[in-house]
Amino acid sequence: MGTKMKVGVVGATGMVGQNYVRLLSGHPWFEVMHLAASPRSAGKRYQDAVAGRWHMPVDIPEEVRQMRVGDASAVDEAARRCSLVFSAVEMDKQAVASLEEQYAAAGVAVVSNNSAHRHTEDVPVVIPEINPGHLDVLPEQRKRRGWNRGFIVVKPNCSIQSYMLPVYALLAAGHAVSSLVVTTLQALSGAGYPGPSALDMIDNTIPYISGEEEKSEIEPRKILGSIRDGRFVLDDAISISAHCNRVAVSDGHTACVSLKFLGQKPGQEDVLSIWRRFRSLPQELGLPSTPSQPLVYRDEIDRPQPRKDRDAGGGMTVTVGRLRDCNVLDYRFVGLHHNTVRGAAGGSILIAELLKSRGCIG
Amino acid sequence: MGTKMKVGVVGATGMVGQNYVRLLSGHPWFEVMHLAASPRSAGKRYQDAVAGRWHMPVDIPEEVRQMRVGDASAVDEAARRCSLVFSAVEMDKQAVASLEEQYAAAGVAVVSNNSAHRHTEDVPVVIPEINPGHLDVLPEQRKRRGWNRGFIVVKPNCSIQSYMLPVYALLAAGHAVSSLVVTTLQALSGAGYPGPSALDMIDNTIPYISGEEEKSEIEPRKILGSIRDGRFVLDDAISISAHCNRVAVSDGHTACVSLKFLGQKPGQEDVLSIWRRFRSLPQELGLPSTPSQPLVYRDEIDRPQPRKDRDAGGGMTVTVGRLRDCNVLDYRFVGLHHNTVRGAAGGSILIAELLKSRGCIG
Amino acid sequence: MGTKMKVGVVGATGMVGQNYVRLLSGHPWFEVMHLAASPRSAGKRYQDAVAGRWHMPVDIPEEVRQMRVGDASAVDEAARRCSLVFSAVEMDKQAVASLEEQYAAAGVAVVSNNSAHRHTEDVPVVIPEINPGHLDVLPEQRKRRGWNRGFIVVKPNCSIQSYMLPVYALLAAGHAVSSLVVTTLQALSGAGYPGPSALDMIDNTIPYISGEEEKSEIEPRKILGSIRDGRFVLDDAISISAHCNRVAVSDGHTACVSLKFLGQKPGQEDVLSIWRRFRSLPQELGLPSTPSQPLVYRDEIDRPQPRKDRDAGGGMTVTVGRLRDCNVLDYRFVGLHHNTVRGAAGGSILIAELLKSRGCIG
Amino acid sequence: MGTKMKVGVVGATGMVGQNYVRLLSGHPWFEVMHLAASPRSAGKRYQDAVAGRWHMPVDIPEEVRQMRVGDASAVDEAARRCSLVFSAVEMDKQAVASLEEQYAAAGVAVVSNNSAHRHTEDVPVVIPEINPGHLDVLPEQRKRRGWNRGFIVVKPNCSIQSYMLPVYALLAAGHAVSSLVVTTLQALSGAGYPGPSALDMIDNTIPYISGEEEKSEIEPRKILGSIRDGRFVLDDAISISAHCNRVAVSDGHTACVSLKFLGQKPGQEDVLSIWRRFRSLPQELGLPSTPSQPLVYRDEIDRPQPRKDRDAGGGMTVTVGRLRDCNVLDYRFVGLHHNTVRGAAGGSILIAELLKSRGCIG
Residue numbers in chain A where pLDDT is lower than 70: 1-2
Q: State the pairing for strand pair D84-87/D5-10.
A: parallel
CB-CB contact of B18 with B56 (8 Å): yes
Using a CB-CB cut-off of 8 Å, the residues of chain D touching C239 are 327-328
User: What is the residue-averaged pLDDT of chain B?
Assistant: 96
Residues of C in contact with D306 (CB under 8 A): 203-205
From chain B, pick out residues whose CB is under 8 angstroms from the CB of D54. none
Distance from C-alpha of B202 to C-alpha of D125, rounded to nearest angstrom: 32
Q: How many Cβ contacts (< 8 angstroms) between chains B and C? A: 16
Distance from B195 to chain D by nearest Cα, in Å? 6
Query: DSSP letters of A230-280?
Result: TEEE--SS-EEEEEEEE-S-SS-EEEEEEEEESSSPPPHHHHHHHHHH---
B341: pLDDT confidence band, cut at 50, 70 and 90? very high
Confidence of residue D3 (pLDDT cuts 50, 70, 90): confident
Q: For residue A309, give how far its alpha carbon lies from the nearest alpha carbon of chain D (Å).
A: 8
| Closest-approach residue (CA) in chain C for D334 | C207
Q: What is the pLDDT of residue A2?
A: 53
> In angstroms, rounded to a whole number, what is the distance separating the alpha carbons of residues C337 and C305?
10
* CA–CA distance, D125 with D137 (Å, rounded to integer): 11
* pLDDT given for residue B3 in this prediction: 83
Contact A300 D57 (CB under 8 A): no
- Architecture per CATH, A161-338: 2-Layer Sandwich (3.30)
Q: Looking at chain C, which residue has its C-alpha nearest residue B250?
A: C307
- What pLDDT digit, counting tens, does each position of B160-188 carry? 999 999 999 999 999 999 999 999 999 99
| Closest by Cβ to C203, choosing from B202, B300, B307 | B202
Give the chain D residue nearest A54 (alpha carbons): D308
Chain A residues within 8 A of C196 when measuring between CB atoms: 197-198
Closest CA to D126 of D48, D219, D39: D219
Q: How far is B207 from chain D (nearest CA, A)?
A: 14
Q: How far is CA C167 from the centre of its chain?
A: 17
Q: Which residues of chain C have pLDDT under 50?
A: 1
Closest chain C residue to B202, measured at CA: C203
DSSP 8-state class, residue D315: G
CA quadruple C39, C41, C42, C48: dihedral, nearest 10: 170
In chain A, what residues touch D308 (CB-CB under 8 Å)? Answer: 57
Instruction: Provide the pLDDT for residue C2.
Output: 53
What does chain A come to in residues? 362
Q: Of A322, A162, A301, A166, nearest to A244 (Cα)?
A: A162
Asked if A207's CB is within 8 angstroms of B304's CB, the reply is yes
CATH code for the part of the protein at C5-157+345-357: 3.40.50.720
Choose the mutation target among A53, A186, A199, A251 for the interface with C, i.e. most C CBs under 10 Å.
A199
Q: What is the DSSP string of C154-205?
A: E---TTSHHHHHHHHHHHHTT--EEEEEEEEEE-GGGG-SS-SBHHHHTT--
Size of the C and D interface in Cβ pairs below 8 Å: 129
**Of residues A183, A335, A257, A215, the one with CA closest to residue B334:** A183
Buried/exposed C147-167: b ≥16 CB within 10 Å, e otherwise: beebbbbbbbbbbbbbbbbbb
Active site residues of D: 158, 253
Strand order, beta sheet including B109-112: B70-71, B30-37, B5-10, B84-87, B109-112, B151-154
Distance of CA A127 to the CA centre of its chain: 7
Question: Which of B188, B198, B203 shows the shortest C-beta gap to D195?
Answer: B198
Q: How far apart are CA C251 and CA C244, in angstroms?
A: 15
Please give the residue of chain A at the shortest CA–CA distance from D56.
A308
Q: In C, which residues are within 8 Å of A193 by CB distance?
A: 197, 199
pLDDT at D1 (0 to 100)? 42
Contact C216, C157 (CB under 8 A): yes
C326 is catalytic: no
Q: Are A247 and B247 inside 8 Å of each other by CB? A: yes
pLDDT band at D2 (very low <50, low <70, confident <90, very high): low
Shortest Cα–Cα distance, C258 to chain B (Å): 26
CA C344 to chain A, closest CA, distance in angstroms equals 17
| Cβ-based contacts of A241 with chain B (< 8 Å) | 258, 326-329, 332
Residues in chain B: 362
* Pairwise CB contact (< 8 Å): A300 & D203: no
What was the pLDDT predicted at D357?
95
What's the pLDDT score for residue D163? 97
Q: Name the residue among B76, A75, C327 with its Cα closest to residue D218.
A: C327
* C chain contacts of residue D327, beta-carbon cutoff 8 Å: 179, 217, 239-241
**pLDDT given at position C90:** 87
Decide if pLDDT at D75 tops 70: yes
Ordered by start, the domain boundaries in chain C are 5-157+345-357, 161-338
Is the ipTM reported for this complex over the cut 0.90? yes
Chains that touch A (3 or more CB pairs under 8 A): B, C, D
Say yes or no for a CB contact (<8 Å) between C189 and A202: no
pLDDT at A360: 87
Say whether A256 and B250 touch across the interface (CB within 8 A). no
CB contact under 8 Å between D188 and B201, yes or no, is no
Distance CA B335, CA B320 (A): 4
Contact D307 A203 (CB under 8 A): no
For residue C343, the SS3 value is: helix
